[in-house]
Amino acid sequence: MSKPKVAILGLGIMGSGMAGRLLSADFPLAVYNRNREKCSPFAGAPVFIAASPRDAASRAEIVLSMVADDTASRDVWLGENGALAGASPNAVLIESSTLSGSWIHELATKTAERGYRFLDAPVTGTKPHAASGELLFLVGGSADALEAARPVFSVLGRDVFHLGPVGSGTLMKLINNFVCGVQAASFAEALSAIDAGGLDRVKAMSILTGGAPGSGIVKRIADRVAANDFTPNFALRWMAKDLAYALGEASEKGISLQTAAAALSVFQQAIAEGHGDEDFSAVVKSMGRRLNS
How far CA 186 is from CA of 136, 195, 232, 235, 262, in Å, comes to 25, 14, 20, 18, 10
pLDDT of 171-200, one tens digit each? 999 999 999 999 999 999 999 999 999 999
Give 291's pLDDT tier (boundaries 50, 70, 90).
Answer: very low
- Name the active-site residue from 173, 203, 241, 285: 173
What 8-state DSSP symbol labels residue 69? S
CATH of domain 171-292: 1.10.1040.10
Q: What is the pTM of this model?
A: 0.96
Q: What angle, rounded to 10 degrees, do the helices at 168-196 and 216-227 form?
A: 50
Give 90's pLDDT tier (boundaries 50, 70, 90).
Answer: very high
Q: Which CATH number fits domain 6-165: 3.30.70.920, 3.40.50.720, 3.30.230.70, 3.40.50.450?
A: 3.40.50.720
What 8-state DSSP symbol labels residue 12? S
pLDDT of 149-162, one tens digit each? 999 999 999 999 99
Domain segments of the chain: what residues? Answer: 6-165, 171-292
Q: For the chain, what is the mean pLDDT?
A: 96
Q: Can 6-165 and 171-292 be said to share one CATH topology?
A: no
Task: Determine whether 173 is an active site residue.
Answer: yes
* Cβ 33 vs Cβ 63: under 8 Å: no
Instruction: List, in sequence order, every residue forming a beta bridge with 153; answer none if it has no partner.
Output: none
* SS3 of residue 169 by DSSP: helix
pLDDT of 27 strictly over 50:
yes
